[in-house]
Amino acid sequence: MKTIDHWINGAAATAGSTRTAPVYDPAVGHARAEVLLAEPSDVDTAVAAAAKAFEAWGDSSLSQRTKVMFAFRELLVKHEDELARIISAEHGKVIDDARGEIVRGREIVEYACGIADALKGGFSDQVSRDVDVHDFRQPLGVVAGITPFNFPIMVPLWMHPIAIAAGNTFVLKPSERVPSASRLVAELYAEAGLPDGVFNVVNGDKVAVDAILEHPGIAAVSFVGSTPIAKYVHERATATGKRVQALGGAKNHAVVLPDADLEYAANHLTAAAFGSAGQRCMAISIGVAVGSAGDGLIEILERKAAGIKVGPGHQEGNDMGPVVTEAARRRVIDSVALGAEQGATVVVDGRELRVAGHEDGFFVGPSLLDHVTTEMAAYRDEIFGPVLGIVRVSTLDEAIALINANPYGNGTAVFTGSGEAARRFQREVKVGMIGVNVPIPVPMSYYSFGGWKDSLIGDSPIHGPAGVRFYTRAKVVTTRWPHSTAGFHFPTSS
């Protein structure tokens, strides 16, 4: 069986790792490889390589850094099909979805190609007589990223291109469930001309995570995952003096008003709820039907959910692949059963779905629950699977209050033809990312990604301008070139 190793100081490395974990193909339910699990000493080795590389890379020119980023971007295009198939094989998502993930991640690389503009400082002439002030930003040093299984290439690309383009060196700990994409990315960086040690990949489990959080040689940590782990990462890393980006979970609502085009809204809700088997932190898991929109919306959603074709991600024509593990499949099945027990109407039931020839795969079909209430587990819990619950309310005010009472605040959407209603919604909801007739409002690379409340622990969003600020530290310089004797008065008084 193939063993997926680390990438340290520009080369494949086994380091001191002796433990391994299986890497499954979710479509067949069997291990396709094994991955090395790092010990703290392996993290030490990677950080030492990154610290050594920072001595030169931190002083490298912006031209050198952007040259590497442009080359890396072209290699991502060249290897898009290979990367998509790797992602599909380990995550389970369909090939088109994997390609979409690569494209969205590549947009961050394109933003990093313009890092010279993002790092420009300001200059104030003659703030006092013969005194000028300017500011500039410098890299932090060695920084690290800990990323989830659901976007094996996109979420890491939210982190390392900006960090590296800003002059830092990087240690990535990808999810041990989907390690191969990051391993190939490391090789592409090397081919693009990135010096050895600037980008390192250390595979592992909680042992590696804790070693990263506690390592004195790491200046900052970026994390995307569940809210409980985001809180853990934030607490442990800040206790050791690190900067932390910690993005947590979500329970995203999409509000459908009576004046919305219900066919349009249902089409987008179906894709947003069941795409990638619902394993997205920006997936719509709760639809909020306002007033008379309810019955018509359910009728269309039932038809569309029942028409989704589920099968192996690599096969053309499939809309949805398996979930990532058997435990994830069981969680979805149990959540639908509990929803029915607690009074929800199961309109579409995906629990018994079987895919011919892939009986051992981690497949579960789309499920649609109507008459969900806020007391139900189907509403409260982040199921992270292909389950869409519909809550019915009477007014837009009720819908806004419902969203604002939820502990999560990652993304939300409203479907309406009313500009007045849309403006009220976007101003009043307590959520970080909002879509108007857009179900998954993930911002472009030149904006920053981050929710509110329990969806973002701390106050550091990711990528875009916030990413540049996170991976750099500002200096402000006040200068005077004197041609007269010094005085005791304050400079601004002269």
Catalytic residue (one of 281, 332, 376, 413)? 281
Question: What phi and psi values does residue 425 have, to the nearest 5 degrees?
Answer: -60, -50
Q: Which residue stretches of 307-435 are H helix? A: 326-341, 377-380, 396-405, 419-428
Calpha distance 256→391 (Å, rounded): 11
Q: Which amino acid is at 324?
A: V
Q: For residues 340 and 387, what is the distance between their CA atoms, to the nearest angstrom?
A: 13
C-alpha span between 207 and 281 (Å, rounded) = 25
Contacts of 170 (CB under 8 A, 6+ apart): 50, 142, 143, 144, 145, 159, 160, 163, 164, 198, 199, 200
In degrees to the nearest 10, what's the CA dihedral of 83, 87, 93, 94?
30
Q: Of 167, 164, 386, nearest to 271 (Cα)?
A: 386
- What burial class does residue 216 get, using C-beta atoms within 10 Å of its C-beta: 0-12 exposed, 13-18 middle, 19+ buried? exposed
Residues near 80 by beta carbon (within 8 Å), at least 6 away in sequence = 99, 102, 103
Measured between alpha carbons, how far apart are the two ends of the chain, in Å?
76
Q: Measure the CA–CA gap between 417 and 213, rounded to whole angstroms.
A: 47
| Pairing state between β 3-4 and 367-370 | unpaired
Our answer to whether residue 281 is catalytic in this structure is: yes
User: C-alpha angle with apex 414: 408 to 417, nearest 5 degrees?
Assistant: 170
Cα separation, 293 vs 138, in Å, equals: 53
**Is the separation of the CB atoms in 249 and 227 below 8 Å?**
yes
Q: How far apart are CA 223 and CA 204, in angstroms?
A: 15
- Of 275, 328, 317, nearest to 101 by C-alpha is 275
Catalytic residues: 281
